């Protein structure tokens, strides 16, 4: 099945750049992600296909003799990177003036990262949060698991008020092991509460990335005549003359953006402000390249 938010050519180009964690992960796949532990659990869990970079000492030669394919033994404590996509599906994510709706942009980011993670042998999961945490797909590394993620993304529609903060607190507690938590939202929530949830995720030792999605009109406010503005979350309305409030509005938005970026920095979370008119391949390429370890860092 084809999905409009997936571009095979883009995935092929991005596939040359590995998805890296900036923190030690609970796993020990050689050459990929650092682990805080040494050794393996003695309890066998499953096999998985060999991926370039895996430790060849863990190849199961008996399985190779039977199938002529390379398989790696996985143990209960052996997990690769858990890439957990979290998408805000409240009503405000439906906004679109230029480019595309914020939610449609988020789908491209989430689907692409999920594909790249699974393709390199890691696990991908998805959570969608509107007024509450209403969709949860646990991280799995099987290629077939991607269909569940893609199907969910294609069927989900943003609506209602935001419950992002409570949903993220729930995720911080529910994700069983440290992982890569990737938040995609316009962050129209209380900034102090968002700071608290970032610290909660940090306390749980998650590697956090924030894609702050904004429509250009939400930043630039380039309206030239009176408008009736509708809140896409609670349906309330207000009529305003843009020229009378534009300067003050832009100042408030800039303060908001600076504040959110600072709070992400304080929680050691990656912050990416993304306008929905930006090329998403460039956004993902920058994201992946920025996470590559610098020489001498390992």
Sequential DSSP letters for 81-126 = -EEEEEEE-SGGGG--SSSS-HHHHHHHHHHHHHHHHHHTT-EEEE
The confidence score (pLDDT) of residue 51 equals: 74
The token duo for 6 is 């997936």
pLDDT at 174: 87
- On the question of pLDDT at 189 being above 90, the answer is yes
Could you tell me how far CA 138 lies from the centroid of its own chain? 14
Beta strands in the chain (DSSP E): 44-49, 71-75, 82-88, 123-129, 133-140, 180-185, 207-214, 227-230, 237-240, 270-275
Confidence band, pLDDT 50/70/90 cuts, at residue 235: confident
pLDDT of residue 17: 95
Please tell me which residue, 251 or 72, carries the higher pLDDT value: 251
Residue 82 contacts residue 139 (beta carbons within 8 Å): yes
Mean pLDDT of the chain: 87
Average pLDDT for 211-225 = 93
Q: How far is CA 248 from CA 21, 170, 238, 241, 255, in A?
A: 40, 36, 17, 13, 11
pLDDT(199) > 70: yes
- pLDDT given at position 71: 75
Say what the pLDDT of residue 38 is: 39
Q: Where does 142-226 show beta strands of DSSP type E?
A: 180-185, 207-214
pLDDT value, residue 29: 42
Q: Which of 19-28, 31-40, 72-81, 82-91 has the highest mean pLDDT?
A: 82-91
CB atoms within 10 A of CB 18: 18
Q: DSSP state, 76?
A: T
Q: Which residue has the tokens 């894609």?
A: 211
- Distances in Å between the Cα of 34 and the Cα atoms of 73, 191, 293 are 18, 32, 11
Roughly what angle, to the nearest 10 degrees, separates helices 191-203 and 164-174?
0
Tens digit of each residue's pLDDT (9 = 90 or more) over 28-50: 343 344 444 434 444 455 667 77
Please give the pLDDT value at position 208.
97
Confidence of residue 63 (pLDDT cuts 50, 70, 90): confident
For the whole model, what pTM was predicted?
0.82
Residue 28 pLDDT = 38
Task: In whole angstroms, give the CA distance from residue 287 to residue 113.
Answer: 10
Of 77, 83, 32, the residue nearest 206 (C-alpha):
83
Beta-bridge mates of residue 47 = 73
Q: At residue 21, does pLDDT exceed 50?
A: yes
Provide the β-strand partners of residue 271. 210
- Identify which has the larger pLDDT, 65 or 40: 65
All structural domains of the chain, each given as residue ranges with its CATH number in brackets, are: 8-14+79-290 (3.40.50.410), 44-75 (no CATH)
Point out the least confidently predicted range of 72-76, 143-147, 188-192, 259-263: 72-76
Give the C-alpha separation, 232 to 87, whole Å: 17
Tell whether the model's pLDDT for residue 214 goes beyond 90.
Answer: yes
């Amino acid at each position: 099945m084809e999905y409009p938010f997936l571009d095979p050519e883009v995935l092929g180009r991005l596939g040359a750049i590995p998805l890296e964690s900036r923190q030690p992960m609970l796993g020990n796949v050689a050459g990929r992600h650092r682990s805080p532990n040494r050794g393996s659990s003695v309890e066998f869990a499953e096999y998985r296909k060999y991926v370039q970079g895996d430790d060849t000492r863990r190849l199961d030669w008996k399985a190779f003799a039977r199938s002529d394919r390379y398989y790696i033994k996985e143990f209960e404590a052996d997990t690769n990177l858990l890439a957990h996509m979290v998408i805000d599906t409240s009503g405000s994510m439906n906004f679109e003036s230029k480019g595309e709706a914020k939610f449609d942009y988020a789908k491209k980011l989430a689907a692409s990262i999920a594909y790249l993670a699974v393709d390199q042998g890691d696990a991908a999961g998805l959570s969608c949060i509107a007024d509450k945490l209403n969709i949860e797909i646990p991280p799995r590394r099987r290629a077939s698991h991607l269909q569940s993620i893609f199907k969910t993304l294609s069927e989900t529609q943003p609506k209602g008020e935001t419950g992002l903060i409570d949903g993220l607190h729930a995720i911080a507690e529910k994700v069983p092991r440290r992982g890569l938590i990737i938040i995609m939202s316009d962050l129209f929530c209380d900034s102090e509460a968002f700071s608290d949830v970032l610290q909660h995720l940090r306390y749980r030792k998650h590697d956090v990335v924030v894609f702050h999605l904004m429509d250009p009109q939400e930043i630039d406010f380039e309206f030239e005549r009176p408008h009736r503005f509708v809140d896409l979350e609670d349906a309330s309305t207000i009529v305003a003359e843009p020229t009378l409030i534009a300067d003050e509005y832009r100042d408030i938005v800039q303060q908001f953006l600076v504040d959110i970026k600072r709070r992400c920095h304080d929680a050691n979370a990656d912050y990416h402000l993304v306008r929905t008119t930006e090329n998403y391949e460039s956004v993902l390429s920058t994201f992946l390249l920025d996470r590559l370890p610098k020489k001498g860092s390992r």
